[in-house]
Chain A
Amino acid sequence: MPTLTYRDALNQALREEMQRDPNVFLMGEEVGVYQGAYKVSRGLLEEFGSMRVVDTPIAELGFAGIGVGAAMGGLRPVIEFMTWNFAVLALDQIVNSAAKILYESGGQIPVPIVFRGPNGAALQLAAQHSQAWESWVSHIPGLKVVAPATPADAKGLLKSAIRDNNPVIVLEGEMLYNVKGEVPEGEHVVPIGRADIKRAGRDVTLICHSKTVTVALKAAEQLAEHEGASAEVLDLRSLRPLDEEAIVGSVTRTNRAVVVEEGWPQAGIGAQVVDVIQREAFDHLDAPVLRVTQADVPMPYNRQLERLAKPSPERVVAAARRVLYLD
């Protein structure tokens, strides 16, 4: 199996879907001539031309709206946001148009659109450009939300997102684009709504997604090495719909869980996961479920403070030790 970067896996998914279906087109800032701020669309303008790889002005609400209209008209647009921090300007189109039109048209007008781009903090981009938006978008009925952590999942989930007849939010990561991994060639589709066990374990489940999968995997290694504890790493992959069965299944086996996410604690993805666990796995719990999130502050620009504010393997290990009663 070829080894690709996360960015090239996304590129492959876009290319294969554009080849497969002439209705698929890509639109966003710098996606054409510049080949994408993060080079996800490398070579696509050359292969598919400017009718299908469309550079836009810096006007998120405008091109998101054009995308929604195109989708209503029967095309399958992929809208790239340079980052999700800029997509806030387009929330009206995403929340009030894309997510509602199927419902408000009585099921007559589907909106098969993908909104994608990097989410969460990178390095020292400061408070306005370091935000994790998953709990905002996954709050909205009518949207699906995926957050792949590996190149293979990035390819498989983007393909599923493009083929889905509903608006799908694809949350990528600036720090993930260079991550390498094996990616199946050709038809590799990861179904939306299916979590994945990235590491099997017996004693505690570390529930994570996107960039925090790496954090959880490192924490699992440390737990195995220093505590002799076997941690299972469950990658949610999809945040809406959530794979409740996988969450409950894992916690039923391990009896303990720590939920890790890049977002803030209040009303976060972890809060939703904890709700599932306490409701569906109550009798299997041996300890309260703990969460590891970004500190409840605007992201500091200072490098050391930023490091402390983000979820880290050390903080995950500390939480795991508590639910394992090792403290």
Chain B
Amino acid sequence: MATNVYMEALSPTMEEGRVVKWHKKDGDPVKTGETLAEIETDKAVMDLVARADGVLRQVAAPEGQTIPVGSVVAVIAAPGEAAGETPTSAAQTKPSGSGKRDTGNVATAPAPVAVATPPAVAPADATRVKASPLARRMAKEAGVDLKLVTGSGPGGRVVKKDVERAPNQAAPAAAAAPAAPLSPVSRVPLPERTGTAYEDVPLTQIRKTIAKRLVTSLGPIPHFFLTTEVDMERAAEAREALNKQLGDQGEGKVSFNDLIIKATALALAKHRACNAWFQDDHIRYWNEVHIGMAVAVEDGLITPVIRHADRKSLTEIGREARELADKARNRRLQPNEYTGATFSISNLGMFDIDQFTAVINPPEAGIIAIGSIVQKAVVVDGHLAPGRRMRITMSCDHRVIDGATGAAFLRTLKQMLENPLAMLL
């Protein structure tokens, strides 16, 4: 019996994937669980693995091709089974420009790749998660999304031990959070000028996702915004003192961003009303605090998640933030590393932005936008004095958070940053 190899939904929001590289070629023997190909999803580059033992046949999607989820990309024939005996053939693919550019006056439309007959098997199979009844029940109870779990059982069946090993996280909150970069590197690789009037560059998977998700946010969500200015004098002093200490121990330094993540997480733990998801017919108030932090990546951005940020030390947060940002830039984030945030932070401080508004990352109910720490004249006890100030703007989903609720959370956050010792309480 031959088994179809489908383009699988390798991220919760993936609708199509680009074949980056085939690890196996036509005629290669393959075993269940072995990587067949690397697939660029809307989020990251993921492995497409074999769901059966046999011989890879009828590879229908060449490298560079974009294939809709559920389409057949190859067939795994049983050992000894001739390719011609396989029940279905090849993929239903559509031409895609990924990796190619169509310039204004040079016709280089991507050549459609050889397409055989359409799949004989309903492609819906590819997106159905096979899981044992026990694994289904456990996943439901633990809030684990089975789509994000790799099954180790026969035919990729998700079994008990796979769910036990999966990180505890709730439904996929996929997410290109719309706000902005954490790192100062965000340069979209533009094509070189060719002297023509314009260049058409096909959307990459990540840019397509950003485009799709942004309109599901600012459009349907009734946003409102609250801005406050925070005195960062003491936070700066605390950071200096901590880094002096850490420097002596040879540890990584604490950044303002780490302080902000920690303070935000602690403030959320005290204001559960802001640590919530809007879920159409109900609001899910989270008891755990998982902070999404917007990271700029080449041609886009993504929000890796620091889980249980309220319970982690500043150095742990710092280390994790650096690791996740690195992974994000290398496009190696796994789905469980960028889903499940309960609240997000977008920081444009390093770009000399005084203040901005960030777009909420649904289903989260809020996001804060962090501006630069600026030196400015402030009035202290009736006298003019130099001070260091930072503006935080919170975007709230009014279906979940009311003005006073958001303001109370912001006040706690402001107090924590203005008096970092409060974080010890």
A287 touches B137 (CB 8 A): no
Q: Are the CB atoms of A255 and B160 closer together than 8 Å? A: yes
Select from chain A the residue with minimum beta-carbon distance to B163. Answer: A286
Residues of B within 8 A of A325 (CB): 152-154, 159
CB-CB nearest in chain B for A285: B133
Q: Which of A201-219 contact B (CB under 8 A)?
A: none
Expressed in whole angstroms, the Cα–Cα distance for A285 and B138 within the complex equals: 11
Q: How far is the CA of A255 from the CA of B137 in the complex (A)?
A: 12
User: Does A103 count as interface, using CB distance less than 8 angstroms?
Assistant: no
Query: Smallest Cβ distance from A16 to chain B, in angstroms?
Result: 46
For this complex, into which size category does the number of interface residues on chain B fall? 10 to 19
Q: Which residues of A contact B133 (CB under 8 A)?
A: 282-286
State which residues 133-151 of B face A: CB under 8 Å. 133-137
Please tell me if the beta carbons of B159 and A286 are within 8 angstroms of each other in the complex. yes
Q: Which residues from 245 to 301 on chain A have a C-beta closer than 8 Å to any C-beta of chain B? A: 255, 282-287
User: B132 an interface residue at 8 Å Cβ cutoff?
Assistant: yes
User: Once A and B bind, how many residue pairs between them come within 8 Å at the CB atom?
Assistant: 27
Contact B159 A283, beta carbon cutoff 8 Å: no
Complex CA–CA separation, A282 to B134 (angstroms): 8
Interface pair B134/A283, CB less than 8 Å apart:
yes
Q: Interface of chain A, helix or strand or loop or mixed?
A: loop
| B122 → A minimal CB distance (Å) | 23
| Docked complex Cα distance between A188 and B132 (Å) | 42
Taking the nearest CB of chain B, how far is it from the CB of A108, in angstroms?
47
| Measured CA separation A108–B137 after assembly (Å) | 49
Please report which residues of chain B, range 107-162, place their CB below 8 angstroms from some CB of chain A when the two chains form the complex: 132-137, 152-154, 159-160
- Given known pairs A255-B160, A325-B159, the reply for A286 and B152 (CB within 8 Å) is no
**Using Cβ atoms and an 8 Å threshold, which residues of chain A touch B160?**
255, 286
A287 to chain B, nearest CB (A): 6
A286-B135 in contact given A255-B160, A325-B159 (Cβ < 8 Å) = yes
Chain B residues lying within 8 Å of A255, measured Cβ to Cβ, are 132, 134, 160
Contact between A284 and B134 (Cβ–Cβ < 8 Å)? yes
Min CB distance B221 to A, Å, is 36
Q: Which of A282, A284, A285, A286 has the most CB of B within 10 A?
A: A286
Residues from chain A with Cβ under 8 Å of B136 in the complex: 283
List chain A residues, Cβ under 8 A from B154.
325
How far is the CB of B177 from the nearest CB of chain A, in Å? 36
* In the bound complex, CA of A284 to CA of B160 (Å): 10
| Chain B interface residues (CB < 8 Å from chain A) | 132-137, 152-154, 159-160
Can you list the 9 inter-chain pairs with the closest CB atoms, starting with the nearest?
A286-B134, A283-B137, A286-B160, A286-B132, A285-B133, A282-B133, A283-B133, A255-B134, A286-B159
Q: List 26 A-B contacts (CB under 8 A).
A: A255-B132, A255-B134, A255-B160, A282-B133, A283-B133, A283-B134, A283-B136, A283-B137, A284-B133, A284-B134, A284-B137, A285-B132, A285-B133, A285-B134, A286-B132, A286-B133, A286-B134, A286-B135, A286-B159, A286-B160, A287-B132, A287-B153, A325-B152, A325-B153, A325-B154, A325-B159
